[in-house]
Structure 1
Amino acid sequence: MAKVLYSVTASVDGFITGPDGDMQWMRPYLGPNPEVDDLVPRIGSLLIGRRSHDGDDPHKGEAGEGQAFGGGWSGPMYVVTHRPPSDPDPGVTYVDDFAKALAQAKEAAGDLYVNVIGANIAKQCLEAGQLDEVLVFYAPVLLGDGTRLFDHAGGRTVRLERKSVTETPQATSMWFSVI
C-alpha cells in the first residue's frame, strides 16, 4: 500500500518558495544528492497542487525544465485543481476533488510513495490524516519571506518522529514519520 510523503526543499527559516512563489533561490542547492537519487525510484506517483504545478521552476532554462525532479522522474501525476486547463499537459491528470485525487495517486503508486508537491496539498493530506512521512532538505540560506513549509492559522502541533538525518554539501535532510 502506498505511503504519502511530503518531500520538499526549505530554507533554514522555513520557506519553500521565496516572495511571489520564486523558486530560483533553490538553484545553488540542486547539486548531486544521494538521498534524492535513492528516493526517486521509490516514488510511484505525484500529488501536486495547482499553484505548484503552474509555478516557477528551479530548473528554468535547463534540460529538465517543467519535469518532476528536473527530469529525474516520470510517472503518473495528479494535479488538484478547481480550474482544469483547457489544454491539459500530457501525462497529467487534473482532478477537482482532493480526496479523489489522493485515492487515484495512491492506487497508481502501488507499493511506492505518493510524493506530495505543494504546501497546501501537504496540509490537506495532514488534515485528512493521510500524510505518513515528511522529508525536508534544509538548504543553508535564509529567505525571510515566501511560502512557509507548514502554515496553520492559529498554530497546530503535529508530532513527528525522526527517521534519519543526512548531510550533503547542498543541504541537510531530515526524514520524519508523522505520528
Structure 2
Amino acid sequence: MAKLLYSATMSLDGYIAGPDGDMSWMTPYLGPDPLVDDLVSEVGTVLAGNRTFRGDDPYRDTPAEGQAFGGAWSGPQVVLTHHRPSVPWPGVTFAGDLPTAVALAKEAAGEKYVNVLGADVARQCLAAGVLDEILVCIAPVLLGAGTRLYDQEEGTPVKLERIRSAEVPHSSDLWFRVLR
C-alpha cells in the first residue's frame, strides 16, 4: 500500500517558500542529489494543495517549468482544493476534501509513494494521522520570512525517527518516519 511522504527543500531558518510564495530562492540549490534522484522513481503520484499547484515554480523560465522534480517525474496528480477549475487539466484530479484526496492519491500511487507537496496539505495529513514520512532538503540560506515547513497554532510536538541522511554540496537531506 502507498505511503504518504512530505518532501520539501527548506531554508536553514525553516521556510519552504519566500514571501508571497516566491520559490526563486531555491534555484541555486537545485541540482544532482542522489537521495532525491532515487526517490523520483519511487513516486507514484503527487498530492498537492491548490496554492502549491498554482504557485511559483523554482524552475520558472526553464524547459522544466511546471514539472514535478524539474521534469524528472511525470504521472498522476491530485490537488486538494475548494476551487476546482472549470476547465479540466490532463493528468490532474481535483478533490474537495482531504479523505477523498488521500484515497485518490493512494489508489493512483499503487505500491509507490504519494509525494505530498505543500505545507498546509502536509499539516492536514499529519493532523489526520495519514502522513508516514518526511524528507527535508536543507539549503544553506536564511530567508527570514515566507511559508514555514510546518506551522501549527497548538504547537503539539510530532515525534519523528530519522531513517537516513545525506550530504550533497548544495543541501543536507534528512529523511524521517512519523511516529504514531
TM-score, length of structure 2 as denominator length: 0.98
Shift in Å at residue 89 of structure 1? 2.1
SS at match of 2:41: helix
Structure 1 equivalent of residue 87 of structure 2? 87
The whole-number CA distance in structure 2 between the counterparts of 1:104 and 1:118 is 17
Q: Per the alignment, in what secondary structure is the counterpart of residue 114 of structure 2?
A: strand
SS in 1 for 2:57: coil
> With structure 1 as the length reference, what TM-score do the two structures score?
0.98
Amino acid at match of 1:130: V
Give the SS at the match of 1:88. coil
Alignment of 1:126-141 (within 5 A): 126-141=126-141
* Structure 2 partner of 1:149: 149
CA distance in 2, matches of 1:97, 1:158: 23
Aligned match of 1:62: 62
Q: State the Cα deviation string for residues 14-60 of structure 1 (Å, max 9, x = none).
A: 00000110000000000111111100000001100000000000000
Q: How does 1:2-151 map to 2 (within 5 A)?
A: 2-151=2-151
In the comparison of the two structures, how many residue pairs are matched?
179
More moved, 116-125 vs 84-93:
84-93
Query: 1:70-107, CA deviations, whole angstroms, 9 ceiling, x for partnerless residues?
Result: 11101110000010111232111111111101001001
Residue 176 of structure 2: aligned partner: 176
Fraction of identical pairs, as percent: 59
Q: Secondary structure at the match of 1:37?
A: helix
Gaps in structure 1 of 5+ consecutive residues: none
Deviating above 6 A after TM superposition, structure 1's stretches of 4 or more consecutive aligned residues are none
Structure 2 unaligned runs (5+)?
A: none
Q: Give the secondary-structure state (helix, strand or coil) at the position aligned to 1:155.
A: coil
d(CA) in 1 for partners of 2:2, 2:55: 27
